[in-house]
Amino acid sequence: MDKVRFGIVGFGNMGSSHVKKLFEGAVANATVTAVCDIDPEKLNCVKELYGDAIKLFHNHADMYGSNEIDAVLIATPHYSHPDLAVSAFEHNLNVLCEKPAGVYTKQVRVMNEAALKTGKVFGMMYNQRTNPAYQKVRELIRNGELGEIRRLNWIITSWYRPQCYYDSGTWRATWAGEGGGVLLNQDPHQLDMWQWIMGDVLPTRVRAFCAYGKMHDIEVEDDVTAYAEYENGATAVFITSTYESPGTNRLEISGDMGKIVVEDNQITFWRNTVSERKFNAEYTGGFGSPECWKCEIPVVGTALEHVGIMENFSSAILKGTPLLAPGIEGIRGLEISNAIHLSSWLDDWVTLPIDEDLFYEKLQEKIKNSTAKKSVKSTILDVSGTH
């Protein structure tokens, strides 16, 4: 096998984009041979665009058992991701899953267990892990250049969405359809980057405030401010929304040896010549602070985004290349997301690991009153087979 044969589940916005890239050869070591969607109109669209070059399936189990594919790329509404992945593993297929891994950690944990049992390649479409700016910041922190981390601040409000975006699908911006708003749809990348850059370490507790339908006619959150604490005393503040224009995407991390800022794809490192702790203990001159150098850190290369993740995933299948975004790590960013939601719902602090049963209980209450519960639940049933 010189190329991985992908079967795409879901021909929506992301699924159709993945099919196009694979079909046109943008991913050198992979191709697309099959597409599955429950909507006949979408399958007709695939037929019109690609003719007989791609096999069409209305049922995912039929595609999984067709011997036409080596790997599955899941690009369906969020709730269905774990069930579709587990079914693929049961068919001895490799799985690449669009973000988020799922809506709640309890279902994602089942997916991870299935992946580990089969030994198949399991990846997440965390395309921001291909961004050389974030890769460099992770490297600097892991190499101790910033010293002990004190604080992370991330303002990510550049997710502006007009009302027509939310009106484009009955599943959008509903508890039954998406399981959340900006945290589940737009921010999984930043939530993954948050824990990934911080050395794969999660906070110990979170206090969050979410506004639901603050500036849109939706039932889920479009504005979030979260405060988190770590075991070593470090803190984090995460601010996000979908109604600010122009928005901001600024990551700032401070440590014992200075401060790193990532904005506009540029990295600035204000580097102390001596650690703050050493200066604090030894300085006797009254007012003063450590000597600091402003360093512009070069960003080498370009972000390969979705293509980069697909190439890395396919290489893992073909050559055993280490995954840039292992699927089992998808639960980490989701746990932060679930903690933020649960803190908002309870109007209280939430410790991590979260109480998964309590989160599920509260989520079911939201789903029960969701405006899209009937139409979307029936769609999820058709797609995943077990919801």
Here the CATH number for the domain that contains residue 9 is: 3.40.50.720
Say if 75 falls within a structural domain.
Answer: yes
In a domain, 343, yes or no: no
Residue 387 is predicted with a pLDDT of 26
What does the alpha-carbon distance between residue 250 and residue 108 come to, in Å, rounded to a whole number? 29
Residue 308's pLDDT is 98
Residue 100 lies in a domain: yes
Cβ(281)–Cβ(153) under 8 Å? no
- For residues 257 and 41, give the distance between their C-alpha atoms in angstroms, rounded to a whole number: 57
- The whole-chain average pLDDT of the chain stands at 95
Residue 211: exposure state from Cβ atoms within 10 A (0-12, 13-18, ≥19)? middle
Residue 288 gets the label, from left (phi > 0), alpha (psi -120 to 50) or beta, of left
* Contact partners, residue 308, CB within 8 Å, separation at least 6: 127, 130, 324
> In this structure, are 283 and 159 located in the same domain?
yes
The contacts found for 53-62 with CB under 8 angstroms, 24 or more apart, are 53/23, 54/19, 54/23, 57/7, 60/9, 60/36, 60/84, 60/87, 60/383, 60/384, 60/385, 61/87, 61/91, 61/385, 62/36
Whether 143 and 274 share a structural domain: yes
Q: What is the CATH number of the domain that holds 155?
A: 3.30.360.10
Domain match, 120 and 34 both: yes
Q: Same structural domain for residues 92 and 197? A: no
Alpha-carbon Rg of the chain, whole angstroms? Answer: 22
pLDDT of residue 380: 40
Give alpha helix (H) positions in 211-355.
276-282, 305-319, 330-346
* 255, 146 Cβ separation under 8 angstroms: yes
The number of folded domains in the chain is 2
Residues 62 and 100 in one domain: yes
Full residue range of the structural domain in which residue 154 is found: 129-297
Q: Is residue 315 part of a domain?
A: yes
Q: Measured between alpha carbons, how far is 157 from 21 in angstroms, rounded to an integer?
A: 28
Per-residue pLDDT tens digits for 333-366: 999 999 999 999 999 999 999 999 999 999 999 9
Query: How many CA atoms, within 13 angstroms, populate the side-chain half-sphere of residue 92?
Result: 4
DSSP state, residue 322:
P
In a shared domain, residues 235 and 286: yes
Same domain for 49 and 106, yes or no, is yes
Beta partners for 260? 253, 269
Q: Residues 121-150, buried b or exposed e (16+ Cβ, 10 A)?
A: bbbbbbbbbbbbbbbbbbebbeeebbbebb
Per-residue DSSP letter, 170: T
Three-state SS for 116?
A: helix
pLDDT of residue 170: 87
> Which residues, other chains included, contact 179 with Cβ-Cβ below 8 Å and sequence gap of 6+?
78, 79, 103, 104, 363
CB 364 within 8 A of CB 107: no
Enumerate residues 6+ apart whose C-beta is below 8 A from 212. Answer: 181, 218, 219, 220, 221, 222
Same domain? For 251 and 286 the reply is yes
- For residues 243 and 213, what is the distance between their CA atoms, to the nearest angstrom? 10
Check: CB of residue 153 under 8 Å from CB of residue 249.
no
The model's pTM is 0.94
Measured distance CA(157)–CA(208) in Å, rounded: 16
Residues 238 and 320 in one domain: no
180 neighbors 286 (Cβ within 8 angstroms): no
Segments of the chain scoring below 50 in pLDDT: 374-387
**What are phi and psi for residue 20, nearest 5 degrees?**
-60, -45
134 and 54, same structural domain?
no
List for the chain the helix, strand, coil content (%; round to 5): 40, 25, 35
Residue 347 near residue 340, CB atoms below 8 Å: no
* φ and ψ of 181, to 5 deg: -110, -115
Indicate if 87 and 194 belong to the same structural domain: no
Phi, psi (deg, nearest 5) at residue 333: -65, -35
314 within a domain of the structure (yes/no): yes
Do both 167 and 311 map to the same domain?
A: no
| Contact indicator for 38, 12 with CB cutoff of 8 Å | no
